[in-house]
Amino acid sequence: MNEQQRKEMDQVRQKDPKNNLERIKDKSTDEFMKYFETTYQPPNMRDAQRRRKKDVDVHYDFTIPEEMEGVGEDRKYLIRTYGCQMNEHDTEVMAGIFETMGYEPTKQAEEADIILLNTCAIRENAENKVFGEIGHLKSLKRENPDLILGVCGCMAQEEGVVNRILQKHPFIDMIFGTHNIHKIPELLKEAMFSKEMVIDVWSKEGDIIENLPRSRKGKIKAWVNVMYGCDKFCTYCIVPYTRGKERSRLPEDIIQEVRHLAAQGYKEVTLLGQNVNAYGKDLDLDYGLGDLMDDLHKIDIPRVRFTTSHPRDFDDRLIEVLAKGGNMLDHIHLPVQSGSSDVLKIMGRKYSREDYMELVRKIRAAMPDATLTTDIIVGFPNETEEQFQETLSLVEEVGFEAAYTFIFSPRENTPAAKMRDKVSMEEKKERLQRLNALINKQARETMETYENEIVHVLVEGESKNNPDVLAGYTKRNKLVNFVGPESAIGNIVPVRITKAKTWSLDGEMAETTVGVKE
Ligand code: 5AD
Ligand code: SF4
């Protein structure tokens, strides 16, 4: 790490909530709640608000430095991606940059000249997987000393991870954070010509680079970033630290990208952001996600999704626009995290169970058939059996059709990681099983309502498990496997459902679209 980088890291550390965290260290739940209600300030919020107006610059001038043009000819790159769709899409951008430099993709680590691990920090097991993989890469590097190994993504934004790599895995050539993807050509140049590990993390967390190349994974569905970062600072979550401040892309840049994708024949776009409902709040334009969706509603692309929502920012304007139908899908992924207002408060979610249920009521009133899915954390520090049961009852009350469920994983330097926790891991695992059993039951019951119905499926290709069968998703995100002609790939076709399973439907192509259930 050079002097400048060290200085920047120190500055970040000073702004970090470290002091804030020290004060809440080792508090019991009651003390924590009291502290939370009276004193706790989400870290960096004020900084974040000031910074975004002043410091976020939008750049349209990305170029590959002359000396790096063509450097990848006869060379291959491999990127292993961990974690969320945001990471998947970042990988598409990095792939675009490598391919612009002349590199070709490969899936074989043995023939790669560059291997990048695009990492996820959301839970400890995600990090463990990456450290396991770093261990495996060591022997490849020994066999081929010219191989460039890089670690990027969310873990690279964690000081503890960077230090661990420096100390224990010095054969890694470069580490760069989520804000520095556009600097790949420069970093690569440094890594190729210097013996030192190249580290570029944290440096500037504000800018938006608009004209980065992208090598998209498919030709049917595409991801489109609408915003970067998160300012919510839920007390368990590392994302605001690894992804930086909320910053929205300008509406015209997003609309142009979606138009372009529609013209290229894409059938579905998913708008991405850590908290998409905060879209536009930093722009001073009086233009939010509802307005953006309304503009996208007019574009001739069959399906527009968005993820992930935060209930607190989900406003009436958005509901009104979603209710217009058309390419607006009535599947809403709305992470609730817990059904207990007390737990929600300590999680820093800024809504209660009642607020959440009121939002669900409004959504159902505007879109009676809306499918709701969610994320839930069990075993938040000191979660009681009663509080857990409130989660179970909320799951039933809302009627979630699917959910991603997790056991709380303490993340370094987040407030929740500092709490004393009396609940055993055994108990947490048992709660997770009970929750999953309920969700599976609800998923299965919903799936059964599709038997003998016709649904519209956007066909993505052959099924992963059986090449004789095609697979795709309905508007409500139900996976359908069916027998049909190859010509259906890339199209939206009617399928009659013959059999329901818990997480997928089996069917056969239908001749008619009469009575489609969607
Ligand atoms: N432990 C467990 N789950 C977490 N999530 C975020 N942080 C943690 C954590 N520390 C879950 C939340 C979020 C999803 C993406 O990951 O449910 O919505
Ligand atoms: Fe993490 Fe989502 Fe909360 Fe942001 S809103 S802090 S990404 S859980």
Characterize 134-151 residue by residue with b for buried, 16 or more Cβ atoms within 10 angstroms of its Cβ, and e for exposed.
Answer: beebeeebeeeeebbbbb
Give the span between the Cα atoms of 122 and 243, in whole angstroms.
Answer: 11
The answer, yes or no, to whether residue 15 has pLDDT greater than 70, is no
Confidence of residue 245 (pLDDT cuts 50, 70, 90): confident
SS3 65: coil
Give the span between the Cα atoms of 161 and 165, in whole angstroms.
Answer: 6
CATH fold of 3-200 reads Rossmann fold (3.40.50)
Confidence of residue 31 (pLDDT cuts 50, 70, 90): low
Give the span between the Cα atoms of 514 and 90, in whole angstroms.
Answer: 41
In the DSSP assignment, the letter for residue 464 is S
Give the span between the Cα atoms of 474 and 513, in whole angstroms.
Answer: 14
H/E segment holding residue 98: helix 85-100
Confidence of residue 393 (pLDDT cuts 50, 70, 90): very high
What six digits make up the tokens of 17? 């909530």
Is the torsion defined by CA of 193, 194, 200, 204 positive or negative? negative
Domain spans in the chain, listed from the N-terminal domain onward: 3-200, 216-329, 336-349+356-448, 454-509
Q: Is 409 in the pocket of ligand 1 (CB under 6 A)?
A: yes
Task: Summarize pLDDT for 98-145 with one digit per residue, the tens.
Answer: 999 999 999 999 999 999 999 999 999 999 999 999 999 999 999 999
Give the span between the Cα atoms of 116 and 150, in whole angstroms.
Answer: 5
Give the span between the Cα atoms of 156 and 170, in whole angstroms.
Answer: 14
- Which residues share a beta bridge with 80? 117
CATH of domain 216-329: 3.30.750.210
Characterize 242-259 residue by residue with b for buried, 16 or more Cβ atoms within 10 angstroms of its Cβ, and e for exposed.
Answer: bbbbbbbbebebbbebbe
What is the arithmetic mean of pLDDT over 146-153? Answer: 96
Give the span between the Cα atoms of 425 and 174, in whole angstroms.
Answer: 36
The number of residues in the chain equals 518
Asked if 268 and 305 count as a contact pair (C-beta separation under 8 A), the reply is yes
If one residue of 84, 88, 123 were mutated to test the ligand 1 pocket, choosing by the most ligand atoms within 8 A of its CB, it would be 123
What is the arithmetic mean of pLDDT over 486-515? Answer: 90
Q: Is 25 left (phi over 0), alpha (psi -120 to 50) or beta?
A: beta
The runs of H, that is alpha helices, within 110-225 are 124-143, 159-168, 184-193
Task: Give the binding-site residues of ligand 2, using a 6 Å CB cut-off.
Answer: 230, 232-234, 237, 239-240, 274-275, 310
CATH of 336-349+356-448 among 3.90.950.10, 3.30.70.20, 3.50.50.60, 3.30.750.200: 3.30.750.200
What six digits make up the tokens of 503? 């997480």
What six digits make up the tokens of 482? 């069916």
Residue 221 C-alpha to ligand 2 middle, in angstroms?
Answer: 25
Residue 377 C-alpha to ligand 1 middle, in angstroms?
Answer: 6
Among 4, 5, 10, 35, which Cα is nearest to 20's? 35
Q: Which ligand is nearest to the CA of 373?
A: 1
Confidence of residue 355 (pLDDT cuts 50, 70, 90): very high
DSSP-derived secondary structure for 101-122? TT-EE-S-GGG-SEEEEEE--S
Q: Per residue, what are the HEC states of 390-431?
A: HHHHHHHHHCCCEEEEEECCCCCCCHHHHCCCCCCHHHHHHH
Q: Is 126 in the pocket of ligand 1 (CB under 6 A)?
A: no
Predicted pLDDT of residue 48: 38
Task: Summarize pLDDT for 265-301 with one digit per residue, the tens.
Answer: 999 999 999 999 999 998 888 999 999 999 999 999 9
What is the arithmetic mean of pLDDT over 441-464? Answer: 96
Asked if 443 and 502 count as a contact pair (C-beta separation under 8 A), the reply is yes
Residue 287 C-alpha to ligand 1 middle, in angstroms?
Answer: 29
Give the span between the Cα atoms of 470 and 465, in whole angstroms.
Answer: 10
What six digits make up the tokens of 292? 């953006």
Mean pLDDT, all residues of the chain: 89
- Do the domains 454-509 and 3-200 match in fold? no
What six digits make up the tokens of 16? 């970090």
CATH of 454-509 among 2.60.40, 3.40.630, 3.30.70, 2.40.50: 2.40.50
Confidence of residue 464 (pLDDT cuts 50, 70, 90): confident
What six digits make up the tokens of 93? 């951008």
Confidence of residue 201 (pLDDT cuts 50, 70, 90): confident
How much is the pTM? Answer: 0.89
